[in-house]
Amino acid sequence: MTTMDKSIEELHALLKAGDVSSQDLVDEALAKSHEIGDKYNAFVTVMDEAKGVEVTDELLSGIPYGIKDNYSTKGVLTTGSSNTLKNYVPFFTATSIENLEKRGAVAVNKTVLDEFGMGGTGTTGHTGVVLNPWNPSRMCAGSSAGSACAVASGVYPYATASDSGDSIRKPAAYCGIVGYKPTYGMISRYGLFAYASSLDHCGVLTRSVKDAAIVVDAMKGEDEKDMTSWDSSHIDLVNALEKDVTGKKLCYINELCDIDNYPQASEQLKNHLKNFQDVLEKVKELGIEVEEVHVDKKLLNAIASVYVVIAYAEATSNMSNMTGIVFGPREEADNYVDMIKNFRTKNFSSMIKRRFVIGSYVLQAENKDRYFFNAQRVRRLLVDEWNKLFEKYDAVILPVGTGPAKHFDSSKDVSNGDVRALEEHLQVGNFGGFPSVTIPDGFVDGLPVGLNLTGKCYDDENVMNLAYKIESILGYKGQIAKEVSHD
């Protein structure tokens, strides 16, 4: 019997009725972990010793889930998908994972990510490349590639994830599932490996908006160990889902969504944007107003550069303790300087080293004002622009990227001209710490695509309410990946 393709509430009902036991679910999730791990390389560690627990009135009790391998887990290998930590076993557990454990959730594996969360392809983890379960010749995106692959494949109903640029929301779109990044600090980052501290968000990947709300309600909370966390006890995401959305207002950005802005558009991009416009018409049937707005294209085109400068600079600082002395296997050398040099040279991937070089360069005294401080200034301009939109609109609704999952062989992806802003606009959600959720909204070329809703800080209930209502009319809730091709 297959049960792990069900929602959290459905599984809870089965457990309470005694139709299945927690151990039954754990055994099924472990079996699927090995199957999906062998097929798509989604996991760093499978916890074969995991056991079922007592089922309580807590919705998550007794239900298996996955943990992205940049969340610290006491006594369980936690690598960040990096050779530098390939043998690291923490002595403490991340606060958000502790919060899930208190509710009886059962972790069954640790999922692959791009090394230390620095990447958007799912290809740089030290255990290998994560394949997309809809089409193994394509990416899951990243960095939360393993979590997205596992949830989409029906291993369990949810997995934790993290998002510093779009690392929850783009994998969700590529894998046909839901990805939710709540307001910055709503979930404690204590125990999450820091990449870019001002951009890092904890979050979740699920197959429905309601499951995402259930899990984040359990993960969130103020934490004295994270000075950026805040009291969200007044926020009840699940209870807010059913509110009436009549009269709510959404906007989309012409410069990103109008096909006339892409004179070299491929058929795939045309179909993706047409699908989005068709969805907007359905959204209006809910009584939601949808309006087109304009944002300076120069500002939109700066998004990717701002992200590179700020994220890489913060990463360089955060990873300065990765020396092979404090953490990681020591390298042989005649002095500590060469020991550190050998460790970082041999154990970091080329992608990580490239980011460190850029981060160090923009932080040099002679470059800091030109690059780092200017990036911060443009970040503020972008955040201010979105906050102006939130004065009138409940959320910004936009398509995720330029279409379905990209090929590993990039030469197979058709060039669409200048689409940088369309590919990278989700990063604004990290610049401002805004709540942001991706839901599946259709298929292009037989592969899933998604839309994104982003709202103002602390307005998570409203954003998730809108996402829930839109999800209800689209028909993609709870879908399990079906391998369609290997082109």
The whole-number pLDDT of residue 326 equals: 85
Q: Is residue 66 within 8 Å of 160, Cβ to Cβ?
A: yes
**Residue 68 bears catalytic tag:** yes
H/E segment holding residue 338: helix 336-347
**Residue 349 bears catalytic tag:** no
The whole-number pLDDT of residue 442 equals: 98
Spot the catalytic one: 6, 7, 33, 68.
Answer: 68
Token pair 């709300």 is found at 213
Judged on CB neighbours under 10 Å (0-12, 13-18, 19+), 173 is buried
Q: Is residue 44 within 8 Å of 125, Cβ to Cβ?
A: yes
Residues 6 or more apart in contact with residue 440 via CB below 8 angstroms? 172, 173, 176, 177, 178, 448, 449, 450, 474, 476, 479
For 191-220, b/e burial (b = at least 16 CB within 10 A) is bbbbbbeebbbbbbbbbbbbbbbbbbbbbb
The whole-number pLDDT of residue 1 equals: 63
Spot the catalytic one: 33, 143, 164, 436.
Answer: 143
pTM of the full structure? 0.98
Spot the catalytic one: 167, 188, 208, 436.
Answer: 167
The whole-number pLDDT of residue 411 equals: 80
Cis geometry, peptide bond prior to residue 143 (ω within 30 degrees of 0) = yes
**Residue 167 bears catalytic tag:** yes
DSSP string, 56-122: -SSTTTT-EEEEETTB--TTS---TT-GGGTT---SS--HHHHHHHHTT-EEEEEE--SGGG--SSS
The whole-number pLDDT of residue 417 equals: 81
Where residue 128 falls (left for φ over 0; alpha for ψ -120 to 50; beta otherwise) is left
Q: Which phi and psi (to 5°) does residue 398 adopt? A: -145, 155
Torsion of CA 69, 70, 71, 74, to 10 degrees: 70
* Full pLDDT tens readout for the chain, 487 residues: 689 999 999 999 999 999 999 999 999 999 999 999 999 999 999 999 999 999 999 999 999 999 999 999 999 999 999 999 999 999 999 999 999 999 999 999 999 999 999 999 999 999 999 999 999 999 999 999 999 999 999 999 999 999 999 999 999 999 999 999 999 999 999 999 999 999 999 999 999 999 999 999 999 999 999 999 999 999 999 999 999 999 999 999 999 999 999 999 999 999 999 999 999 999 999 999 999 999 999 999 999 999 999 999 999 999 999 999 988 888 989 999 999 999 999 999 999 999 999 999 999 999 999 999 999 999 999 999 999 999 999 999 999 999 999 999 988 887 678 999 999 999 999 999 999 999 999 999 999 999 999 999 999 999 999 999 999 999 999 999 999 888 8
